[in-house]
């Protein structure tokens, strides 16, 4: 099952060009990540407020395909993937009325907060990564949508 988060575009997200300010898309993707973690039973307050282990973002990229307007109902789906003992990557797809408006990636590395040294992903993150692995069918659906773009 691909986790999907609904998010209405707010006035604060927009800029004087009348559309969503580009960097704000990444905050919305991060919200989808937070919601997905909470959905899998992780305590969000402990996870994000002065934790011992953290997952800072070391790379991100976004492709903006269409403008987003205040009031738009975005659907943000995310697919995380383990890419090493201490790393994972999340792919986001943002749609409005089933049309893709943006795609993004965030790559995270697991660190000990005090030393800032890399460390192995803890069990709760391994579980989250496995629970959100796309099944064969939904991966196929996503791929075929790719080809249409």
Active-site positions?
15
In whole angstroms, what separates CA 34 from the centre of its chain? 8
The full 3-state SS of 10-29, as one line of letters, equals CHHHECCCCCECCCHHHHHH
| φ and ψ at residue 130, rounded to 5 degrees | -70, -40
Q: What is the dihedral of CA 63, 137, 33, 124, to 10 degrees?
A: -140
Q: Which stretch binds a copy of itself (CB under 8 A): 25-33, 74-82, 83-91, 128-136?
A: 25-33
By beta-carbon proximity to a copy of itself, the closer residue of 111 and 131 is 111
Please, what is the minimum distance in Å from the beta carbon of residue 4 to a copy of itself?
Answer: 16
List residues binding a copy of itself (CB under 8 A). Answer: 8, 10-12, 14-19, 21-24, 26-27, 30-31, 34-35, 38, 43-45, 47-50, 54, 56-65, 67, 69-72, 106, 113, 116
């Amino acid at each position: 099952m691909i986790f999907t988060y609904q998010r209405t575009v707010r006035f604060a997200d927009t800029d004087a060009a009348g559309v969503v300010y580009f960097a704000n898309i990444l905050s919305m993707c991060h919200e989808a990540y937070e919601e997905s973690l909470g959905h899998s039973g992780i305590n969000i307050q402990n996870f994000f407020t002065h934790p011992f282990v953290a997952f800072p973002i070391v790379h991100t990229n976004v492709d903006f395909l269409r403008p987003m307007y205040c009031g738009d109902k975005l659907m943000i789906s995310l697919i995380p993937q383990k890419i090493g003992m201490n790393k994972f990557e999340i792919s986001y797809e943002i749609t409005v009325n089933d049309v893709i408006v943006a795609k993004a990636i965030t790559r995270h590395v697991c660190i000990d907060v005090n030393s800032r040294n890399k460390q192995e992903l803890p069990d709760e993150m391994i579980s989250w990564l496995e629970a959100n692995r796309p099944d064969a069918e939904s991966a196929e659906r996503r791929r075929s949508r790719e080809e249409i773009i």
